Amino acid sequence: MKVAERPLIVVAVVLTLGFIRLGGWQLARLHQRHRINAELASRAVDAPVPISQLPTDTANAHYRRVAVNGAYDYANEIVLTLRSREGSPGVNIVTALKTPTNDTALLVVRGWVYSPDGMTLDLNKWREGPQVSGSGFVETYPPPRNGANASSTHPNAFRWLDRTRLEKRFNYPLKPYYIVLTAPLGDTTKNTPPRLTVPPMDEGPHRSYAIQWFSFAAISIIGTILFLRRK
C-alpha cells in the first residue's frame, strides 16, 4: 500500500462507519414508529371513556376513544376543504360542541361529504339535530403553519384546523384536541354525514432511508476496494 493511498482508506472507513451509523439510527426510528403505531392502534379499539378521564397530555390522549355528549353549535360550523375519499372530492364537516357545565367547547369532525369543488357545501342539509350522543377518537391539532388557511371566498372554509384562530372566530375557548366522530348512538338519518375512520398508521420513510444509508456504506467499501485493486 502506498503512503498516498492511506488518506483515501481513512476517509472511506470514516464515511462507511458514518453511513452504517445513520442506517442503524433509521432502523431504531423504524422500530420506535412500530411501537408507537401498536400503542395507538390499541387505543383506537379500547372502550370509549368520558372526556373528563382523558390524560391532560394531548400526546397520551391521541387516538383514545371517548364518549361524546353535548349540544352542537351550528352557528359556528366550518368545513375542511379538499378532502378526498376514494378518489372523490369533498369536505369534512367540523362543528363546535358545547356542554352546559363547561364554557370550553370541543370541535367535532362529524364526517365527510361529497363536494364537486372540494370547497363549498350547504351545511343546513347536514344538521343532525341539536344534541349529540356518540363516540369518536381524539385527534391533535397540527403544528402552526405558514400560508393562508381561511378561504378568501368562502368564510366557513379552512384548509386545516388552527385552534388559536378558531377561538378568535368563535369567541370562546376550545379544548387542546378535537374529536373525530365515528359512531352515533341511536338511529342515523339521511342528515348524517359518512363518518371517518382511524387513518392508516404507516411506518414513515425510515425503512427506505435505512436502505439508502446502508447502500452508501456498501458503495463506499466496494468503491475503495476496486480503486485499490486497480492501483
Give 20-51 pLDDT, tens digit per residue: 888 888 888 877 777 766 766 666 666 777 88
Non-local (6+) Cβ contacts of 218 within 8 A are none
Distance of CA 106 to the CA centre of its chain: 18
**25 phi and psi, to 5 degrees?**
-65, -40
Kindly tell me if the per-residue pLDDT of 224 is higher than 50. Answer: yes
Distance (Å, rounded) from C-alpha 16 to C-alpha 105?
Answer: 55
Q: Report the mean per-residue pLDDT for the chain.
A: 81
Coil, strand, or helix at residue 177? strand
Q: Is 53 exposed, middle or buried (0-12, 13-18, 19+ CB in 10 A)?
A: exposed
Q: Which pLDDT belongs to residue 186?
A: 44
First to last CA, the chain: 9
pLDDT confidence bin for 187, thresholds 50/70/90: very low
pLDDT one-digit tens code per residue, 4-24:
567 777 777 888 888 888 888
- Per-residue pLDDT reduced to its tens digit, 98-148: 877 778 889 999 999 999 988 888 888 898 888 888 888 888 888 878 877
Rounded to a whole number of angstroms, the CA Rg of the chain reads 25
Closest alpha carbon to 56 in 182, 176, 223: 176
C-alpha span between 36 and 201 (Å, rounded): 9
Q: What is the pLDDT of residue 112?
A: 92
pLDDT for 94: 94
One DSSP character per residue, 115-144 reads: -TTSS---GGGG---SEEEEEEEEEEPPPP
Grid coordinates of 77: 360550523
Q: At what angle do helices 6-45 and 206-230 cross, to 10 degrees?
A: 160
Highest mean pLDDT among 111-115, 186-190, 194-198: 111-115
Q: Given a cut of 60, is residue 95 above it in pLDDT?
A: yes
